[in-house]
Structure 1
Amino acid sequence: MELHHEFTVPVPVEDAWRALLDIERVAPCLPGAVVEDYDGRTVTGSVKVKVGPVTVTYRGTAVFDEQDETAHRMVLAATGRETRGQGTARATVTGSLAERDGGTAVSVDTDLTVTGRPAQFGRGVLSEVGDRLVGQFAACLAERLAEQAPGEPVVDEEEAPPLDLLRMAGVPVAKRAAAVVVGALALTWLATRLRRRRRASGHR
């Protein structure tokens, strides 16, 4: 699926460019993300995603295929696999920065493929989650840019909580998910009743 998001940060484009490439610095703004290693081009780490009562951890790498400082354009290719399951996640993220009213406008295009539990929500829900996630990321990034100058060491923090898909998508999605569960239970109950009736009829 293809997703598009835009946000702005109140700093000049050069500062925003350096900040977005400072992976250890911006990673805490992404719920569930943990960076284990970064050599300037390849990021190794994990992302935890909570789907109802189940938490799924994806481990993998993300590689900068492009870092065009002149055009302020970057392309990041990421792949991950569930640590306890067969689910996978692949994403190609293209970001471009442009000066706007003294700040920086950031445009992000994501080509995302997900298998496993998170895939059950479909494009609509994942798009909702993406909108909220980008909004949260933009606010966090703006706050960090205002507080911390580029190049300063990042203070170690507690382990990041998982990205909660239901909470991030909001109450309507949670209600839809609950409706699906209730519907499944109703169908199961109905099928059980029908089987019992057939068995009872067979013994007459």
Structure 2
Amino acid sequence: MELHHEFTVPVPVDEAWRALLDIERVAPCLPGATVEEYDGKTVTGTVKVKVGPVTVTYRGTAVFEEQDESAHRMVLLASGRETRGPGTARATVTSTLTGRDGGTAVSVRTDLAVTGRPAQFGRGVLAEVGDRLVGQFAACLSERLTQAPAGAVEQPTPTAEPRPGDLAEVPEPSEPLDLLRAAGPAVAKRVAAAVGVAAAVAVVVAVVRARRRRRA
């Protein structure tokens, strides 16, 4: 499925470009994500997704396939697999930055493929969840950019740690991304109803099979 989102941040385009490439800085704005290692091109980490009472953890990598600074365009290829299940997730994320009224408009196109439990939500629900998450990410990023002085993304930290490649030693914990909560009350009710129906059908099927085995 293809999703499209746009948001703005209150800094010039060059500063926004550097900030979005500073994975350690923006990772805390991504719900459920934990960065373990980053070498300047490839990110290794996990994403935790909560579906009702079940939490699914995806482990994988994201690679910057393209970083065109002159056009302010980046392409990120991400893939992951459930640590305790057969589910997979793949995404190609293309971001384009454009200067606008002293700030920056960020256009994000995501080609997403998900299998496993989160896939039960369908395109409509995932699109609504995406809208909310992008809004949260934009607000978090804007706050971080306005709190730090211009150009801070290029300055080394006073402690000289952590540095790219060392993140596996001190990964920041992250709360799971709760899809039902992120979807909002109206959508969550529809999803909960669908999950309830699916669970009821599963119970009926199990009972029928048990009776057949006893008769045999």
TM-score (norm 1): 0.88
Q: Indicate yes or no: 2:133 matched with 1:105.
A: no
- The structural deviation recorded for 1:183 is 3.5
Give matches, 1:35-184, under 5 Å: 35-148=35-148, 149-150=152-153, 151=155, 153=157, 159-184=173-198
Amino acid at match of 2:2: E
Measured in 1, the distance between the counterparts of 2:102 and 2:188 equals 39
| Superimposed CA distance per residue, residues 59-80 of structure 1 (whole angstroms, 9 cap, x where no aligned partner) | 0000000000000000000010
1:143 maps to amino acid: E
Contact 2:35 2:171 in 1 (8 A): no
More moved, 168-177 vs 123-132 = 168-177
Q: Matches of 1:189 and 1:41 in 2, distance apart?
A: 47
Which structure has the larger Rg?
1
Identical counterparts, % of pairs = 75
1:177 Cα shift?
2.3
Of 77-86 and 147-156, deviating more is 147-156
Structure 1 CA distance for aligned equivalents of residues 202 and 93 of structure 2:
41
| Distance verdict in 2 for CA 1:117–1:17, change over 3 Å | same
Contact 2:7/2:106 (CA < 8 Å) preserved in 1?
yes
* 1:185 Cα deviation from its structure 2 partner: 6.0
Q: Which amino acid aligns with 1:115?
A: T
- Paired residue type of 2:197: G
Q: How many residues align?
A: 199
Q: 1:22 aligns to what?
A: 22
Contact kept, 8 Å, 2:95 with 2:108, in 1: the verdict is yes
Q: Is the 2:35–2:172 Cα contact (8 Å) retained in structure 1?
A: no
Give me the CA root mean square deviation: 2.7
**CA distance in 2 between partners of 1:59 and 1:3 (Å):** 22
> What is the rounded CA distance, in whole Å, between the counterparts of 1:188 and 1:85 in structure 2?
19
Return closer, same or farther for 1:16/1:178 CA change in 2, 3 Å cut-off: same
Give the direction of change, closer, same or farther, for the CA distance of 1:18–1:115 in structure 2 (3 Å limit). Answer: same
Letter in 1 for 2:8: T
Cα deviation per residue 1:162-190 (whole Å; 9 max; x = unaligned)?
Answer: 10000000111221123224434665788
Distance 1:188 1:115, change over 3 A: closer
Change beyond 3 A, Cα 1:15–1:122: same
